[in-house]
Structure 1
Amino acid sequence: MEQLRYPPKPKPGDRVAVVSPSAGLPAIFPHVYELGLRRLREELGLEPVEYPTTRAVHADPRDRARDVTAAFADPTVTAVLATVGGDDQLTVTPHLDDAVLRANPKPFFGYSDNTNLLNHLHKLGIVGYHGGSVLVHLGRPGALHPLSTESLRAALFTTDWYELRPADEWGDQPHDWNDPATLATEPPMVPGTGWTWLGNRRVVTGRTWGGNLEILHWLAAADRIAPAAELAGSVLVIETSEELPPAVEVYRMLRNLGERGLLAGFPAVLVGRAKAWDFARPHTVAERRAYAEAQRDAIMRALAAYAPEAVVVFDLDLGHTDPQLIIPYGGEIRVDALTGRITVRY
């Protein structure tokens, strides 16, 4: 793994690439996508630049990789934003031109299946940004969430330290994108519960690594993860998706990473609030709470076996959450279990 470095940041008024390295959902939900683009222009002052596969369904992985490479190569583009996630970006990253990416480092924003590209950039020594979906968060019904917007704006335009803070309200029950009328009202929210600190009580500083847990497991199977020795000392950041993996599978995925020697090297583990609602499984609030508690127990069981000295923080608003905090991927972080504070350098 190369030495990690922060890429130059965009300025208001700049052109930024909007790409679909995973699913081409802008073609299926143009009303949501257009809202996200409008917010990108009006709220953040950036001019989106699309590519041939941005609105293409089932685009060939080589074509998607070509678009990502072109976005990094374009000297007039100062950042790259993913439209949404998906499930096959594992087939895209092998076709990227790494020489172009190294020579033209730019901030890349994405999460979920975009863990593939974030991990790929990390191995090239380029700090990325976990979060910032054009459809999901910029295209949020009703209005942008203030906390998401504040974090995204800071990650896009600043290089300073930023203190993360728990959301006063949160939700994981989105509106149905098939009904354009739902864009008029904000999704339902529930009162925030703060973070839960477990494990060791100390201060940890380091660089972040991780992403969506299911994708990390796929990356491990494809042998796309750096050796444990190279990742040792990193702060692990994990979250789970709308597929709602059962607690036993969450445990097994972490157990397998532990057997690979990875977990023992992480002095701190940050866990995103477990997404516990989906259209196929419309859980009640009580059922969502039970799901999250079962997942927490599974994670702690794995960490007790493979990283018993780690500082552990649950219920952060990162990943498949509303609101969503942006986490620098490979960037600097300070986890202070003594004062209950987490700061990141964007």
Structure 2
Amino acid sequence: MTDLVHPVYPPKPEPGDRVAVISPSSGLPGLFPLPYELGLRRLREEFGLEPVEYPATRTMGATPRQRADDIHAAFADPGIKAVFASIGGDDQITVVPFLDRELLRAHPKPFFGMSDNTNLLAFLREAGIVGFHGGSVMVELGRPGAMHPQTADSLRAALFTPGPYELRPAERWRDVDGDWADPATFDAEPETRPGTGWTWLNADRVVEGRTWGGCLEIVGWMLMAGRGLGRDLSKFDGGVLFLETSEELPSAEEVFRTLRNMGERGLLGRFSALLMGRPKTWFFERPLGPQEGAAYAAEQRAAVTRAMRTYAPDALVVFDVDLGHTDPQLVIPYGGLARVDGPARRITVTY
């Protein structure tokens, strides 16, 4: 298979099917069982799926080889119809060298994950498999109170329904988290804020193409390690780039530099559209207030705009799409089709 062969959508599960739950990055289910168990329960009760855990799922400090073994076992088992990441982390890049591309290609399955799971999503794309950015067990499925209705609707469509799905701006959103170690966190619905809509640049055209991207910090790490691109960058021509930043709240200058370096690599200008996720502006180590958070988001938007005007001045750009570390989270098919309609101000993905 060459770089120019398009990824294909794997068969979808049906209610009643068994699905794998693995921890390709971090075994945080072992440290924070409350959101994890809640996420498993919702898979059973709200989605009708039977989760199956693997040896390293709750193991902190599992080796890259052990985590790769879980990935292989989940994909190779004919009784498993989809694979979910429990959560992200920061060292999945060390797992990738142990992955068997031919095994995964021979047993294509929908994989759901985000953040550090950008590594596995990019690997699957290069193997010819469309993955799904979003839907981790501890965060989206394990949300206190109830799943955000827009997250639940998007995840359900991505799981069970082929065809187009229109993304919509969040009606209400949040980025402030509760303490996962405190049972009281899960007794009530988290506080949310009114949605602010999307901001569009160069919205005089329609772009339709295959997606690539993920968490910006992880994308930068992958590029430093020579991963995630393949040999021929022309396969990204006319595509839809999507990016978002993590709870580590990278500075606007860091965001610009990463995009600048993608531009110098000859990558940024190949995409005809960019969907930029709403930035998370709060974390336990940096609990920004509303005004500080708004300033942080504005600085990031300016940094992205500066990079795009330099390296991809004609690209259609949409800011504050709910596809990342904030809540709700809309699932993006990784390597699948996205249609960005500037004049109509609509974004449609194909699940």
Report the TM-score range of the alignment, normalised by the length of the smaller protein.
Answer: over 0.9
Identify the residue that residue 116 of structure 1 maps to in structure 2. Answer: 119
Is the aligned partner of 1:270 residue 2:266?
no
Aligned positions of 1:64-75 closer than 5 A? 64-75=67-78
Is the aligned partner of 1:225 residue 2:228?
yes
Mapped partners of 1:158, 1:268: distance in 2: 25
Shift of residue 200 of structure 1?
4.5
Mapped partners of 2:100, 2:270: distance in 1: 30
Identify the residue that residue 83 of structure 1 maps to in structure 2. Answer: 86
Residue among 155, 171, 174 paired with 2:174: 171
Residue among 285, 290, 297 paired with 2:295: 290
Identify the residue that residue 323 of structure 2 maps to in structure 1. Answer: 318
Structure 1 SS opposite 2:208: strand
Is the aligned partner of 1:42 residue 2:45?
yes
Identify the residue that residue 247 of structure 1 maps to in structure 2. Answer: 252
Residue among 190, 193, 196 paired with 1:193: 196
Identify the residue that residue 265 of structure 2 maps to in structure 1. Answer: 260
Residue among 129, 146, 151 paired with 2:149: 146
Shift of residue 186 of structure 1?
1.8
Structure 2 SS opposite 1:80: strand
Shift of residue 225 of structure 1?
2.9
Structure 2 SS opposite 1:56: coil
Mapped partners of 2:108, 2:11: distance in 1: 8
Mapped partners of 2:279, 2:170: distance in 1: 14
Residue 333 of structure 1 contacts residue 343 of structure 1 at CA under 8 Å; is this kept in 2? yes
Mapped partners of 1:222, 1:200: distance in 2: 34
TM-superposition CA deviations, 1:44-80 (whole Å, max 9, x none): 0000010000010010000000000110000000000
List gaps (5 residues or longer) in structure 2. Answer: none
Identify the residue that residue 61 of structure 2 maps to in structure 1. Answer: 58
Matched residue type, 2:314? E
Residue among 18, 23, 26 paired with 1:20: 23
- Aligned residues between the structures: 346
Mapped partners of 1:59, 1:81: distance in 2: 17
Mapped partners of 1:12, 1:257: distance in 2: 41
Mapped partners of 2:21, 2:249: distance in 1: 28
Aligned positions of 1:5-16 closer than 5 A? 5-16=8-19
TM-superposition CA deviations, 1:222-269 (whole Å, max 9, x none): 000324222222100000000000000000000000000001101000
Residue 240 of structure 2 contacts residue 272 of structure 2 at CA under 8 Å; is this kept in 1? yes
Instruction: Report which stretch shifted further, 184-193 or 149-158.
Output: 184-193
Residue 203 of structure 2 contacts residue 343 of structure 2 at CA under 8 Å; is this kept in 1? no
Residue 8 of structure 1 contacts residue 106 of structure 1 at CA under 8 Å; is this kept in 2? yes
Shift of residue 3 of structure 1?
2.6
Identify the residue that residue 101 of structure 1 maps to in structure 2. Answer: 104
Residue among 317, 336, 341 paired with 1:336: 341
What TM-score, normalized to structure 2? Answer: 0.97
Is the aligned partner of 1:211 residue 2:205?
no
TM-superposition CA deviations, 1:5-27 (whole Å, max 9, x none): 00000000000000000010000
Mapped partners of 1:282, 1:222: distance in 2: 32
TM-superposition CA deviations, 1:99-119 (whole Å, max 9, x none): 110000000000000000000
Identify the residue that residue 3 of structure 1 maps to in structure 2. Answer: 6
